[in-house]
Copies of this chain bind each other. A is one copy, B any other.
Amino acid sequence: MIIVMQENAPKQHALAVVHHVQELGLKPVLLEGTERNVIAVIGDERIMDMHVINSLDGVEKVMPVLAPFKLASKEHAKTKTAITVAPGVVVGGTQIAVMAGNCAVESLGTTLATAKAVQAAGAIIQRGGAFKPRSSPYSFQGLGEEGLLVLREAKKQTGMPIITEILDPRHVELVAEHADILQVGTRNMQNFELLRELGKVKKPVLLKRGMSATIEEFLMSAEYILASGNANVILCERGIRTYETATRNTLDISAIPVLKKMTHLPVIVDPSHAAGKRDYVGALAKAAIAAGADGLLLDVHPEPPKSLVDPDQALNFEQFTVLMVDIKKIAEAVGRTL
C-alpha cells in the first residue's frame, strides 16, 4: 500500500501514519519527496483498511498495491480451474460449454422440446429459470418449485445437467437439491447473505457480473463464495450498463482477457442478456469465443414471441442450430472444441 501525504502536511502527520502501520505489524518506509511525502507499506497490506488510513490526518490518498482478493487470484492457483458439473460435463476445459434453454421455465412441453433441440445442436447444459427476478411487481415471477420439477423431468429424459437461478437465501437448500449449477443473477452479485449461503453448498455456482460492477468487485463477490467453502465458481460476463441504448447492455468483451489474466476461474459469456435483441446475439457469441471465453449461456425458445420472459432476445431452434455451426468454426480457430 502506498500512502500519499498532502503537500502541506506537517512531518508529524507522516510520522503518525508510520506509527499506525507499525502497530498493524507491517513495515512502513517513509519517502521524503521534493513535492510531498509518501509512505510505502511492506507486507501483506490486505490486513489494513484503506479507508481508515485515508481518514488519518494529512493523508491525501491511498493506493493499494495488491488486489483485495486472494482465493480467486492467479497467485492462489496458478493453473486454470476446470469444474466438473456432471460426469463428462466440464466448464473450463478444452470444450466450449454451451448452456442453453428457456429464460423462464413455462411448461414441461416447452422445456423438453427446447432441451432436446439444444442438445441436438451441441449444448451440454440446459438452462431454465424457476425463480425470476423481474423489475416490475406486475410481471410473471416464475413457477418456483414447480419449475424445478419440470427441469428435473427434462434432465431425466435428456441427461442434461441443469443450471437455474437462485434469488433468496431461504431457497438455497431446495434449489441445490434439484440443480447442477446454481446461478446468481446480476442484481444479486452483491447480495452477500446469499453468497455466503452458497459457499456452504457443494454444487457449482455461476456468478453473473453485476451490471455496474468493476472486475475487481466481481472477483470480490466470487471471493465471498470461495471463502465460505465452495471452490466451484464459474464467472459470467453478461454486459454492463453504459450510456449506449442501442443494446440492452454493453457486452464488456475485454473482461474476458482481463479475467483470464487475474483469475484461475472459468469465464463464460451471456450474449442474450448483453444484447437484449435477437439480431445481435450471434455476433456477440462468436466474439466471446474468439476472445477466449470458456462457454456461453443462451436463451432459446421454440416460439420466441410466446416466451414469458425476455422474448426479444431468445433464438428459435433454427437460429440456435445455425449459430452453433458458426461457433464450432470459431472454437476450432482458437484451438477449442464444441
**Chain A residues within CB distance 8 Å of chain B:** 2, 4, 7, 29, 31-36, 38, 40, 42-44, 46, 49, 51-52, 54-57, 63, 65-66, 68, 75, 133-139, 167-170, 187-188, 190-193, 196, 211-212, 214-217, 220-221, 223-224, 227-228, 240-247, 250-258, 261, 274-275, 278-280, 282-284, 286-292, 304-307, 309-312, 314, 326, 329-330, 332-334
| A250 interface neighbour in B49, B254, B289, Cβ under 8 Å | B254
User: Which residue, of A56, A247, A314, has the highest number of chain B Cβ atoms within 10 A?
Assistant: A247
Please determine whether A46 and B138 come into contact, CB atoms closer than 8 angstroms: yes
Q: Which of A32, A190, A257 has the most CB of B within 10 A?
A: A257
Contacts of A75 in B (CB 8 A): 7
Q: Most chain-B CB neighbours within 10 Å: which of A35, A245, A252, A290?
A: A290
**Number of copies of this protein chain within its complex:** 4
Using known A-B contacts A253-B251, A254-B247, A333-B332, determine if residue A135 contacts B217 with beta carbons closer than 8 Å: yes
Give every chain B residue within 8 A of A284 (Cβ-Cβ): 253-254, 257, 291
Contact A254 to B240, CB < 8 A, known contacts A40-B2, A188-B191: no
Question: A190-B135, A215-B246 are known contacts. Are A31 and B36 too (CB-CB below 8 A)?
Answer: no
Which B residues lie within 8 Å of A55 (CB)?
278, 304-305, 307, 311-312, 314
Chain B residues positioned under 8 Å from A279 (CB to CB): 257, 261
Q: Are A243 and B246 touching (Cβ within 8 A)?
A: no
- Show 6 residue pairs from A and B whose CB-CB distance is below 8 angstroms, ordered by the A residue: A35-B65, A52-B306, A136-B220, A170-B170, A212-B241, A243-B243
User: Are A305 and B56 interface neighbours, CB within 8 A?
Assistant: yes
